[in-house]
Amino acid sequence: MSRRLLVICAWVGTVLLAACGTVPSSSGPASSPSTEKSLILATTTSTQDSGLLDELLPAFTRDSGWQVKTLAVGSGQAIELGRRGEVDVLLVHSPAAEAKFVAEGSAGSRRLVMHNDFVLIGPRADPAKIRGTKSVEAMKKIAAARAAFISRGDESGTHAKEKDLWSKAAVTPGGSWYQSTGQGMGETLRVASEKAAYTLSDRATYLTQRGTLALEVLSEGDLGLLNVYHVIEMTKNAGDRVQPDGAKAFADWIVAPPAQRLIGAFGRAKFGQPLFTPDAGADEAKLGQ
């Protein structure tokens, strides 16, 4: 394993050791170690837990010849990996943190890729009575009822959205009713289900796992729950190990029409609706309208 991957594995912990060594299969002939084009993508757990990466990455490798090693972490961790020059490209969903990061100067192009939305989910009994309410009002009701709420607590894009909703609700969550997993979306959903608690999830991960969960969507649909993803290319300004050509290859590919069609079709056959809406070239200010 290269020194670059050893650094990454040490930083993200043993949970991600398998991811650091995972390379999606290619339909073409295997490349020798000296000629293989390999890039590192830092992305969110939602793109992995939903199954979207399983759809996209083999197609990218087939079309471009680039192999992809994936680190699926929270958006905050992904951005930190980019800041340290330990990955080549990011696919993340924490717009405020992304904008701040790009302004620092180590990243290159940041482009709109897709969106879906967040949903507030909880037990069917709905002890806080949030069913059908707007997101901010729902957060107020959960806090007032001291109903169990499970947070990711991992500085991910989902966690950033949750904190934004608490802030808009003028609530500082804490106490025994509020718990953090420090884990990704899939694990947080499992814990919330076991504890009959509320949580905030991206819709795609919830839909792919709802068959194993005793949880329902209780608050959805307002613009405050929009979940927007961007691809960010890293540059040599972040460090000499960055591969800008690989970053640009991936970013150009994911916003091009063939990949956007794959994104738009993903989930439709199984769930009756796409799990993500492709947005390349769209006016971001008008998303969700």
Question: pLDDT tens digit string along 130-142?
Answer: 999 999 999 999 9
The predicted pLDDT at position 36 comes to: 79
**Can you list the positions of beta strands (E) in the chain?**
37-43, 66-72, 89-92, 107-122, 149-151, 178-180, 199-202, 216-219, 226-234, 277-278
Average pLDDT over residues 119-130: 98
Report DSSP state, residue 223. Answer: G
User: Between 95-104 and 157-168, two packed helices, what is the crossing angle to 10 degrees?
Assistant: 120
Residue 199, classed as helix, strand or coil, is strand
The model's pTM is 0.83
User: Between 157-168 and 75-83, two packed helices, what is the crossing angle to 10 degrees?
Assistant: 120
Residue 258, classed as helix, strand or coil, is helix
Q: How confident is the model at residue 224 (pLDDT cuts 50, 70, 90)?
A: confident
Other beta carbons within 10 angstroms of residue 163's beta carbon come to 15
- Residues 93 and 158: their CA atoms lie apart, in Å, by 8
The predicted pLDDT at position 29 comes to: 36
Is 56's pLDDT higher than 70? yes
Contacts of 140 (CB under 8 A, 6+ apart): 169, 170, 171
In the structure encoding, which two tokens stand for residue 67, read together? 């192999």
Other beta carbons within 10 angstroms of residue 268's beta carbon come to 11
- Residues 131 and 125: their CA atoms lie apart, in Å, by 10
Question: pLDDT tens digit string along 75-93?
Answer: 999 999 999 999 999 999 9
Is 28's pLDDT higher than 80? no
User: Between 257-265 and 52-64, two packed helices, what is the crossing angle to 10 degrees?
Assistant: 160
Is 162's pLDDT higher than 50? yes
Asked if 70 contacts 76 with a C-beta cutoff of 8 angstroms, the reply is: no
Contacts of 15 (CB under 8 A, 6+ apart): none
Q: In this predicted model, which residue has the larger pLDDT, 115 or 31?
A: 115
Asked if 74 contacts 154 with a C-beta cutoff of 8 angstroms, the reply is: yes
